[in-house]
Amino acid sequence: MTPTRPVGDNAAARGRGATRRGFLFGGAAAGVGVAAGVALAGTPALAADPKPDSTGVNGSRTVAFHGTHQAGIETPVASYVTYLALDLHREVDADGLRRLMKLWSDDAARLTAGTPALADTEPHLAEDPAGLTVTFGFGPGALDRAATSKRPSWLRPLPAYDIDKLEERWSGGDLIVVVSADDQVPMAHATRMILKDGRGFASLRWRQDGFRRAYGSQPGGTTMRNLFDQVDGTANPRLGTPDFDTVVWATGDDWMAGGTSLVLRRIEIAIETWDEVDTVGRENAIGRTVTTGAPLTGTAETDEPDFEAIGPHGFPVISDVSHVRRAHHHFTGARIFRRGYNYDLGPTPGADDSVVSNTGLLFASYQADVDAQYVPIQEALAKADLMNVWTTPIGSAVFAIPPGCAEGEYVGQGLLG
Amino acid sequence: MTFTTLRTTRLSRLAVLAAVSTVALAACSSTSASTAADSTTVTDPWVKTVDEGMTAAFGVITNTSGEDITIVSATTDAAPTVELHETAMGDDGAMSMSPIDGGFVVPAGGSLTLEPGSFHIMLMGVTEPIRAGDDVNVTLTFSDDSTLDVTATAKDFTGANEDYDGGDTMDGMDMGHDSTSPSADSMNMEGDS
């Protein structure tokens, strides 16, 4: 077999320049993409040449680790996420947990600032953190070690739902670390540093990786599309608003004040059977249009759904069992803040030729109180939601996210200090 | 005119400040001279975790004065014996760790980095485990007898292939890059086992 010449080979590109140029000017430039752009690097400048990003401006962007709240929640959502759940070793007591949180907080403070961790053996990987955030949380098991009496009443596994097909390998955990950024290199480094410093205290229970659109692909603040092709997350509280504070941050005078809770559900989507549903069926299931994400009673994504509207055949325009109606606070009286990511692992090779995907959603929900806010919505959806036909929760975990810490302090100090 | 007045006022204030500073400095130098410890900061101090035996402490030592300063010794409540070590290439070309002659010299206005594979503070005869996240207090003593207390964070570390804990005997001890020629004399640690 003849070795393929690399597309970046300038000599090769020059030799074929005329052909390439003809192709480009033939009107197909938009579809050619990066490969042709690279191949043309050695040719005279063309109007259609993609220009390399000579600034790298997003790489140096940092998100402050220290503050009233932990970073990574009321922070513009980044392109990638890695969730690490760990189980504490049997012998780790409250003092051990304190030492771990001290080490981890120090690692996170340094790495999110774009500086190496203490005793960092790969210090250059900390450069250009691209908005890196590291967020820590405690599962029920961590509170057992720290102080059982201080466990928030909602910190326990969610009730079992009929729709659940939970797998141990995606569920539970004593500790959660959420690593997020617009670049997977600083994330890989932070993840390794966190796991290295955690090795003496805890074992990795599971890891879940998720992605959204890459930085710069769409304007910031664009609501994500899940892999069902749905605009997903429209009804979220806006960052930096009193509304957000009310929904997300715990109040009171105990160690959780300024903290929140995280429910992470791994939701497998049956994309193969979803493929068989036409647009009308898809829009009926969700209660929103596929094109814009507007409610079926509106024209813009942010229009409030009109649940009273009746269609020409006497039925509600937004179905009684549509996702948007069942999940809406109008119906449940509760609100949450979602930070969803897609996952896409690919099928098991050779298992079933008709299945070409293993994909879904890392559904992350933040709220001040799981029982008062998350559970009513989940109950309503578990009872009836057309989307249940194509979605299956296969992982579930609940964590208490402590408030942020000041410089020189560590996350969880209010509990462990 | 107003402008001139302001300038005069500012100048007078500066003059007063300068006078105060001079007095302060004079007081300082006449009673207790500025010490080497006063001119030294240690950033990012850390120590490698160990159950027992030997380990090492690291960090960046910065000298803010106009004179070289010398650290002649160090102590810690975590170990009975502490030595200041350097890692240097021996005549045979192998790297080995040994006590540094004359202590750690931190150049005027400069810094000295203690790190695995280079200068380090050697802790010997550790009996209580130094666990990850522990604070280890290390006191540095300078050539003018002044001292500086430093709190080092204990971290698990496997880098630079350094295993300071040779077990009960010196035999077969892997001293970093010196695994091919572990010369016990270069370590001067007979008292440890």
pLDDT tens track for A172-230: 999 999 999 999 999 999 999 999 999 999 999 999 999 999 999 999 889 999 999 99
> Do both B28 and B66 map to the same domain?
no
DSSP 8-state secondary structure symbol assigned to residue B172: T
Say whether B153 and A106 touch across the interface (CB within 8 A): yes
> Do both B27 and B74 map to the same domain?
no
**Residue B66 confidence (pLDDT) above 60:** yes
CB A234 within 8 A of CB A302: yes
**Residue B15 confidence (pLDDT) above 50:** no
| Distance from C-alpha of A57 to C-alpha of A55, rounded to nearest angstrom | 5
Average pLDDT value for residue range B128-153:
98
> Do both B97 and B139 map to the same domain?
yes
Between chain A and chain B, the number of residue pairs with CB atoms below 8 A apart is 36
Interchain CB contact of B60 with A (< 8 Å): no
Q: What are phi and psi of A148, to 5 degrees?
A: -55, -35
Give which of B46, B48, B156 to mutate to test A binding, by max A Cβ within 10 Å: B156
Instruction: Sort residue A22 into left (φ over 0), alpha (ψ -120 to 50) or beta.
Output: alpha
> Do both B21 and B100 map to the same domain?
no
Average pLDDT value for residue range B148-175:
65
Q: Return the half-sphere exposure (C-beta side, CA atoms, 13 A cut-off) of residue A205.
A: 25
> Do both B27 and B71 map to the same domain?
no
Rg (CA), chain A: 24
What pLDDT is stored for residue A230 in this prediction?
93
> Do both B11 and B71 map to the same domain?
no
| Distance from C-alpha of B74 to C-alpha of A171, rounded to nearest angstrom | 49
CB A204 within 8 A of CB A86: yes
> Do both B5 and B62 map to the same domain?
no
> Do both B140 and B47 map to the same domain?
yes
The pTM (predicted TM-score) of the whole model is 0.81
State the residue range of the domain holding B7: 1-33
Amino acid at A198: G
- The residues in B 133-192 lying below 8 A from A, measured between CB atoms, are 133-134, 153, 155-157, 159
> Do both B45 and B6 map to the same domain?
no
Q: Would you list the DSSP string of B113-162?
A: EE-TTSSEEEEEEE-S-B-TT-EEEEEEEETTS-EEEEEEEEE---GGG-
Say whether A100 and B58 touch across the interface (CB within 8 A): no
Interchain CB contact of A199 with B (< 8 Å): yes
| Distance from C-alpha of A389 to C-alpha of B33, rounded to nearest angstrom | 81
> Do both B104 and B45 map to the same domain?
yes
With b for 16 or more beta-carbon neighbours within 10 A and e for fewer, the A274-284 pattern comes to beebeeeebbb
- The residues in A 94-123 lying below 8 A from B, measured between CB atoms, are 96, 98-100, 102-103, 106, 118-119, 121
The reply to whether A232 belongs to the active site is: yes
Q: Would you list the DSSP string of A24-61?
A: IIIIIHHHHHHHHHHHGGGSPP-TTPPPP-SS-TTTT-
> Do both B22 and B55 map to the same domain?
no
Given the cut 0.85, state whether the ipTM is greater than it: no
Say whether B156 and A100 touch across the interface (CB within 8 A): no
**Residue B177 confidence (pLDDT) above 80:** no
Catalytic residue among A232, A243, A253, A344: A232
Give the confidence band of A331 by pLDDT, cuts at 50, 70, 90. confident
Q: What ranges do the domains of chain A cover? A: 1-52, 80-416
Interchain CB contact of A93 with B (< 8 Å): no
**Residue A27 confidence (pLDDT) above 90:** no
CB A182 within 8 A of CB A78: yes
Say whether A103 and B159 touch across the interface (CB within 8 A): no
**Residue A165 confidence (pLDDT) above 80:** yes
> Do both B86 and B21 map to the same domain?
no
| Distance from C-alpha of A287 to C-alpha of A305, rounded to nearest angstrom | 9
Say whether B159 and A121 touch across the interface (CB within 8 A): yes
Say whether B156 and A201 touch across the interface (CB within 8 A): no
> Tens digit of pLDDT for each residue in A371-416?
999 999 999 999 999 999 999 999 999 999 999 999 999 999 999 9
Chain B residue with minimum CA distance to A105? B133
Instruction: Sort residue A412 into left (φ over 0), alpha (ψ -120 to 50) or beta.
Output: left
Say whether A103 and B133 touch across the interface (CB within 8 A): yes
CB-CB neighbors (< 8 A) of B58 in chain A: 119
Interchain CB contact of B117 with A (< 8 Å): no
Say whether B58 and A119 touch across the interface (CB within 8 A): yes
Q: B184 or A243: which carries more pLDDT confidence?
A: A243
| Distance from C-alpha of A90 to C-alpha of A145, rounded to nearest angstrom | 10
Q: A277 or B186: which carries more pLDDT confidence?
A: A277
- Mean pLDDT in chain B? 76
CATH number at residue B119: 2.60.40.1890
CB-CB neighbors (< 8 A) of B132 in chain A: 99-100, 103, 197, 200-201
CB-CB neighbors (< 8 A) of A99 in chain B: 131-134
